[in-house]
Amino acid sequence: MKIFQPILALLFPLKALASGLDWSPPVSHLENVDYQGNVHIVRKIGEVEKLPLYLIFNSTFGNSPYVGSGFELPFLEARMWQVDEGRFQAKMPTGWLWIFQRTKDPTVLEGNAGWKGVINDDTITAWAPCGDKIIFKTGRIASMKIKEDLYSYNYRNGRVASVEKNGRLVLEIKRDAMTGEVTGLALPGTWETIGLAATAERPIVESIGGKNVVSRVEKTLGEVTPASGSDGKVTFEQTVNGELNPTIKLGDQLIAWNPSTKKIAKDGEWTYDIKPGAGPFDNAAIGRENARNQSEFWHHDVTQGKENIVDSHGQNSTRKWFTSGKLLNKERSLNLTSAAGQQLYSFKASYDENGRLVNYIEDRDVYVLTYDQQGQLGKVAKNDSTVWMRTVDALGRLLHEIVYPGYYKHFTYNNDGSVVLDLITPKLNLKAFGFEGRVSRLTVEQNTQSTSSEEF
């Protein structure tokens, strides 16, 4: 397990890391449970212009106007609300939760991953460094801008009726003409409709005097017919078990949770032990075990800068990072041990006063990083031997680069704007001639002395 190349990739990204909307599935470390120990089930049921459309069930959710009790469609239900005097929480259209805090100017907000926000009467505009932008009006999503595309939300009677992309209809809510209940999501550009049947019943359990009691029944989603290319037809059945704990059934898998705390209790063969965090946004310490004497554990402590993971084989991973100052979020160490306590992997990093990585120890190997006068990484040595080095000219253009012993790059910049690249490797030598970013001629010479050349 070597991390040398990933570290170089972080130090020299080809382009700035995107920090906009994260469209990956909004899931946590353990399946069917969120970071705070609540039941959390995510299914992709289609796409809107290649943007994933997620359906989420969570044991803390209320009643959705589109998919009933316990479910949400974050693409339609994205919203921002005030948690306390200084903080706001946003449910993004991706399903991820974002935290925003007031700055010294109470109308200006700062959020996760460089996101900013501005409050103007009943409207909050939030944007990412990459340019992604969402406008929330009276707490609900009004529009979002992704790159050059603008998605506009059209409401009718307080609910989303349709979504347009650059003025073109891309999603339309289908309702029963008699009851007004949602029956599906039409995707006009694809001639597909995602079927939704929120006609099942969900018992709502409350803890009264220490006893679980079914207090009422609410309508909920019972069946989903996704668009092609997504997961197959999905059915949900919500009921209670013998202890009157609420349950949800997915095929043969039964998940139960505590009606008072909303924390997961069982998921198939797994029994859970949840220790909630101290604050409303803190992650829980989540442990689970089964009858096969297997156990797993996860805890991501943002305040302490520490994550601990134990897998079902007993392998233990502990990662630490800095939580303040110039070293905020930078890695401190990573240790991996076996169930028997044997050291499998270790990593420890050191930084200078400017927050730059200057050396790290990976297992028994010591890496030292050296920077040039411009503050750019110039050389990496492993156990006193150079494994990576580069030099630049006065204009900041790359001249030489050594990538591991035996691999060498040299760039020549001509007055006419053309560039020549010489690449030397243990097996072949390559010379490329280019102009305005395009290769015009390529010559390859193998160590057997055979040479080939091609014009473009």
Q: pLDDT per residue over 198-253, tens digit each?
A: 889 999 999 888 899 999 999 999 999 987 756 678 899 999 999 999 999 988 89
User: 3-state SS of the chain: helix, strand, coil percent to 5?
Assistant: 5, 55, 40
Ranges of H-type helices in 296-410:
none
C-alpha pair distances (Å), 286 with each of 4, 7, 337: 31, 30, 20
Measured over the CA atoms of residue 394, residue 396, residue 397 and residue 401, the dihedral's sign is positive
Cα angle, residue 242 at apex, residues 238 and 245 outer, rounded to 5°: 50
Asked whether 429 and 436 are in contact (CB, 8 A), the reply is no
pLDDT in tens, 246-264: 999 988 899 999 999 999 9
Q: Up-side HSE of residue 160: CA atoms within 13 Å toward CB? A: 31
The C-alpha atoms of residue 241 and residue 234 are separated, in whole angstroms, by 22
The C-alpha atoms of residue 416 and residue 436 are separated, in whole angstroms, by 10
pLDDT in tens, 320-329: 999 998 898 8
pLDDT in tens, 65-84: 999 999 999 999 999 999 99
Asked whether 145 and 131 are in contact (CB, 8 A), the reply is yes
Q: Report which of 247, 168, 170 is spatially closest to residue 205, judged by C-alpha positions.
A: 247
Q: At residue 187, does pLDDT exceed 90?
A: yes
Contacts of 84 (CB under 8 A, 6+ apart): none
pLDDT in tens, 324-350: 988 988 999 999 999 999 999 999 999
The C-alpha atoms of residue 99 and residue 122 are separated, in whole angstroms, by 18
Read off the pTM. Answer: 0.82
The C-alpha atoms of residue 247 and residue 268 are separated, in whole angstroms, by 11
User: What's the chain's average pLDDT?
Assistant: 89
pLDDT in tens, 134-156: 999 999 999 999 999 999 999 99
The C-alpha atoms of residue 115 and residue 251 are separated, in whole angstroms, by 39
Asked whether 205 and 213 are in contact (CB, 8 A), the reply is yes
Q: How many CB atoms lie within 10 A of CB 134?
A: 26
Q: Report which of 275, 392, 360 is spatially closest to residue 2, judged by C-alpha positions.
A: 360
Cα angle, residue 5 at apex, residues 367 and 406 outer, rounded to 5°: 80
Q: At residue 12, does pLDDT exceed 70?
A: no
Q: Report which of 452, 413, 407 is spatially closest to residue 434, judged by C-alpha positions.
A: 413
